[in-house]
């Protein structure tokens, strides 16, 4: 085994460890990696024509790829935490019509 094989194995182990308790499902992870890769590819093509748009697309694409590889999403975690804290404060309002 060469250094490259050892490096690839180590990266695979780290990804598997990080994704063991991930917050997103496998289908979301695959979709995030594919969409992020597509966005990064489109951004690279436009670096010279529209640099500001390309930089923002590179950032978005890299974030999606990172989300897909790690299996964790900070936004989804924050939304889930907010939903858990607000479940106790639910008010149900009923509106009834009486028809004769």
- Does residue 97 carry a pLDDT above 80? no
Q: Is residue 30 one of the residues assigned to a domain?
A: yes
How many independent structural domains does the chain possess?
1
Question: Which structural domain range is residue 30 located in?
Answer: 24-77
Tens digits of per-residue pLDDT, 17-40?
554 445 778 888 889 999 999 999
Given this model, what pLDDT does residue 21 score? 47
Higher-confidence residue of 38 and 2: namely 38
Q: 4-8, 24-28, 51-55, 77-81: which range is least confident on average?
A: 77-81
- Please report whether residue 46 resides in a domain: yes
pTM above 0.75, yes or no: no
52 within some domain: yes
- Supply the DSSP string of 34-84, one letter for each residue: HHHHHHHHHHHHTTTT-HHHHHHHHHHHHHHHHHHHH---HHHHHHHHHHH
Flag whether 97 is in a domain.
no
Q: Pick the more confident residue, 16 or 67.
A: 67
| Residue 95 maps to a domain | no
Tokens 């299996």, located at residue: 71
Residue 60 within a domain = yes
- Residue 40, domain member (yes or no): yes
Does residue 55 fall inside a structural domain? yes
């Amino acid at each position: 085994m060469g250094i490259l094989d050892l490096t690839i194995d180590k990266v695979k182990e780290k990804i598997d460890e990080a994704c063991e308790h991930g917050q997103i499902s496998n289908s979301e992870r695959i979709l995030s990696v594919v969409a992020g890769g597509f966005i990064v590819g489109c951004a690279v093509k436009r670096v010279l024509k529209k640099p500001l748009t390309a930089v923002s697309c590179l950032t978005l694409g890299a974030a999606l790829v990172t989300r897909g590889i790690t299996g964790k999403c900070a936004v989804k975690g924050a939304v889930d935490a907010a939903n858990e804290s607000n479940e106790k404060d639910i008010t149900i309002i009923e509106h009834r019509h009486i028809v004769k």
